[in-house]
Amino acid sequence: MRAKNSADIAAEFSLLDLTPEFIADPYPAYRALREHAPVKQMNNGSYFLTRYDDLIAIYKNPKSFSSDKKLEFKPKFGDSLLYEHHTTSLVFSDPPLHTRVRKLISGALTPRAIAGMESGLIKLVDELLDRLQTRCNDHGSVDLIEDFASAIPIEVIGNLLDVPHNERAPLRAWSLAILGALEPAVSAAAFETGNLAVAEFISYLEGLIARRREAPGNPEIDVLTRLIIGEADGEKLTPKELLHNCIFLLNAGHETTTNLIGNGLVTLHDHPEQRALLVHQPDLIKTAIEEILRFESSNQLGNRVTTEQVEVGGIMLPPQTQLTLCIGAANRDPAQFENPETFDIQRTPNRHLAFASGTHVCAGMSLARLEGQIAIGRFVARFPDYALTAAPLRSQRIRFRGFYHIAAKV
């Protein structure tokens, strides 16, 4: 009977018709798909993939599986600014644009540059923890997203591009609106808000870039200066490439990292024995962050399109087949992870796909790991008995998994 239910779940699965139960806990559906339809054809002809090995094979073969979204986004975004933005950012591009932009960005995110950010990050997190304590004493509870998790990546990415502190306030809302348009189903209102956010972001960045051209920063640590003056393969970025990749960078590091921290604090709260283990053995923080990334990946879905006839998981696909790669499902694939549904902060090895793999592997992963380790490590050391005071409010997105609000006492 149970097997039949699971087969039914797999048969009925649609990305455009998601229930509140699925949004709260997609993992039973992902398990059913992995078992019964790991290469699942959707109504629109695209395929939804849930097996670890299939995702790895796709990530490792960018020639047959393109990241370029110019064709795919046309019906959804038309000639809008959202279309221009998403089709110009490096995550949704192939060589040569991808190679040029990636070289410029990753040169500024070297292990040395990231190690140089550590002391500033510790200071920022400790100040936020002090403020949490005061706020909780004054108000009786705090919001772990608004008052803690979201404040960290805003500062980190703001510092990376050297955005003046008093100009950072709108960045988060712009970022949420632009990434929201990547959900499988986009309402007219979300489309409009997303377009407006790109327009406002561009107009802000044009001013910032003009100021930076007049007074360049140190390209070793200032990514904006690096993107303005830097050359890769003898070419600079065009003005449009520059604008859209600044927006992309600001977006890429925001919601994902906020959700890593929020998901981590909720998951540790829901697994008290694992939280106690971390409190007593703080040096487990590195493996704990990897496990949070695996167990509740903040970026759950990725996309590729076939460029030629190619086989995936035993099924031959024609060129121009759209694929959704389900990182959340691959990260719980029993063929790769022992007891995949168990949250185990000591898990090794843990070759999760939270940052994808291959040529598009997350360029900010070392920074995201450092942010997660410092934020969650110092939070649980300071507030070992933190408690949620209400059910956390989950965002309704399925590509980016996380919470809007987490009310807690510290």
Q: Return residues touching ligand HEM (CB under 6 A).
A: 67, 90-91, 102, 105, 157, 249, 252-253, 256-257, 260, 298-299, 302, 354-356, 360, 362-364, 367-368
- Report the residue closest to ligand HEM, judged by CB: 364
Cβ closer to ligand HEM: 9 or 376?
A: 376
Cβ closer to ligand HEM: 6 or 255?
A: 255
Cβ closer to ligand HEM: 195 or 297?
A: 297
Asked if 260 and 253 touch (Cβ cutoff 8 Å), the reply is: no
Cβ closer to ligand HEM: 10 or 253?
A: 253
* DSSP for residue 62: T
Asked if 59 and 357 touch (Cβ cutoff 8 Å), the reply is: yes
Tell the smallest beta-carbon distance from residue 249 to ligand HEM (Å): 6
Beta strands in 207-265 (DSSP E): none
Tell the smallest beta-carbon distance from residue 138 to ligand HEM (Å): 31
Tell the smallest beta-carbon distance from residue 3 to ligand HEM (Å): 32
Tell the smallest beta-carbon distance from residue 153 to ligand HEM (Å): 6
Tell the smallest beta-carbon distance from residue 75 to ligand HEM (Å): 20
Cβ closer to ligand HEM: 7 or 107?
A: 107
Tell the smallest beta-carbon distance from residue 344 to ligand HEM (Å): 19
Alpha carbon distance 369, 143 (integer Å): 22
Cβ closer to ligand HEM: 32 or 230?
A: 230
